[in-house]
Amino acid sequence: MSIMLRACSSVAIMCALVACGPEMTNPQDVRPSDASDVTVADTGVTPTDGSGPADTGVTPTDGGGGACGSAYSPCDPVTNTGCMAGMMCVIMDPMARRSACVAAGRGAFGATCMSANDCAEGLGCIGDKCARWCCGSGDNSTCRAMPGGRAGATCDINVTNSGLFACSLPDNCDVHRQNCPTAGDNCYPISMDGTTQCSTPRMGAMPGASCMFRNDCPVGHICVGTMMMSTCRRLCDPTGMAMGTYAMCPAGMMCGRVGGLPTNVGVCSAMM
């Protein structure tokens, strides 16, 4: 995902938001890698296109995301604690963990925004969309809770140096048909419940290449493997029921299950 952080228009600060989040600590022998790492720059947040180190975000300890956001003072950007009604907590200095309360906007999760002031409490402006703050890979409950949460959202946008993540909304795309609204985007499976998401593959993404992040792989492929080595593998349907270009494997290959994903989502492997 190409992500740009938007600043607050009413105050001279940088509002760092947090993602692509991958779940990098999945203990399964075969794991989906759905991460798109991002970094905070003077002008906002930019993707590393998978060239950076593995995500080292904060893992929530209380299930509600408060632990990570409470590192900021005087307010918590995740829970909005410390701000009065009608105000929202924004990040002023991610390195110093300094925040501030500013007037909240009306934009809901997913709404178009020009600055963080366009977004409602608990949200920030990433790129041109309002997004919910969260605490780390797997902290999906915060993404779906109030203030500002949405059903099906996932905590998968990592902001380097901030200690926080942001949530992304699910896409109703079909991994086998690869029908993302934007041509060239890859429809990725990201959870057992069938949630999918569209992301733009990094330049030069190739089938069979080693990978760390979700956008390391081209259309119709996902990053799977062991904790030590992952590669871009072609999607398929082990049940044989799905339709679409990526439902069946090419000749000489067989379709196998991937732990942590729905039963109809697998990857192709060479026949033994």
Q: Which residue has the higher pLDDT, 43 or 115?
A: 115
Instruction: Tokens 């991958």: give the residue.
Output: 22
Evaluate whether residue 6 is within a structural domain.
no
Evaluate whether residue 3 is within a structural domain.
no
151 and 222 both lie in a single domain: no
Average pLDDT over residues 63-89: 83
Average pLDDT over residues 78-104: 91
Instruction: Report whether pLDDT(45) > 90.
Output: no
Average pLDDT over residues 79-100: 90
* Burial grade of 129 (CB within 10 A; 0-12, 13-18, 19 or more): buried
| Torsion sign over Cα 89, 95, 97, 98 | negative
149 and 204 both lie in a single domain: no
41 and 159 both lie in a single domain: yes
Average pLDDT over residues 46-53: 26
* Residue pLDDT, tens place only, 122-150: 888 776 788 888 998 778 899 988 888 88
Share of the chain above pLDDT 90, in %: 37
226 and 118 both lie in a single domain: no
Average pLDDT over residues 66-76: 86
140 and 87 both lie in a single domain: yes
* Number of helices (H), then strands (E), in the chain: 2, 14
Question: Number of structural domains, the chain?
Answer: 2
Average pLDDT over residues 202-209: 93
216 and 149 both lie in a single domain: no
Last residue of one domain, picked from the residues 107, 135, 168: 168
Whether the pTM exceeds 0.75: the reply is no
151 and 94 both lie in a single domain: yes
How far, in Å, CA of 146 to CA of 222, rounded? Answer: 31
Evaluate whether residue 179 is within a structural domain.
no
Evaluate whether residue 92 is within a structural domain.
yes
Enumerate residues 6+ apart whose C-beta is below 8 A from 170. 152, 153, 154, 190, 195, 196, 197
Instruction: Report whether pLDDT(37) > 50.
Output: no
Evaluate whether residue 137 is within a structural domain.
yes
3-state SS string for 28-83: CCCCCECCEEEEEECCEEEECCCCCCCCCCCCCCCCCCHHHHCCCECCCCCCCCCC
Average pLDDT over residues 154-164: 79
72 and 138 both lie in a single domain: yes
Region of 220 (left: φ > 0; alpha: ψ -120 to 50; beta: rest) is left
What range defines the domain where residue 164 resides?
A: 36-168
197 and 149 both lie in a single domain: no
97 and 153 both lie in a single domain: yes
Angle among Cα 69, 139, 11 to the nearest 5 degrees reads 35
pLDDT confidence tier of residue 225, bands split at 50, 70 and 90? confident
Tokens of 182: 């934007």
| Mean model confidence pLDDT for the chain | 75
* Residue pLDDT, tens place only, 171-190: 889 999 999 988 999 999 98
Strands (DSSP E) contained in 48-119 are: 87-93, 98-103
Buried b (16+ CB within 10 A) or exposed e, 165-177: bbbbbbbebbbbe
Instruction: Report whether pLDDT(233) > 90.
Output: yes
Average pLDDT over residues 52-73: 51
Evaluate whether residue 78 is within a structural domain.
yes
Evaluate whether residue 11 is within a structural domain.
no
Evaluate whether residue 5 is within a structural domain.
no
213 and 260 both lie in a single domain: yes
Last residue of one domain, picked from the residues 168, 196, 217: 168
Residues in the chain, how many?
Answer: 272
Least confident of 63-77, 130-144, 252-266: 63-77
Last residue of one domain, picked from the residues 168, 196, 221: 168
240 and 198 both lie in a single domain: yes
Residue 103 · residue 116 · CB < 8 Å: no
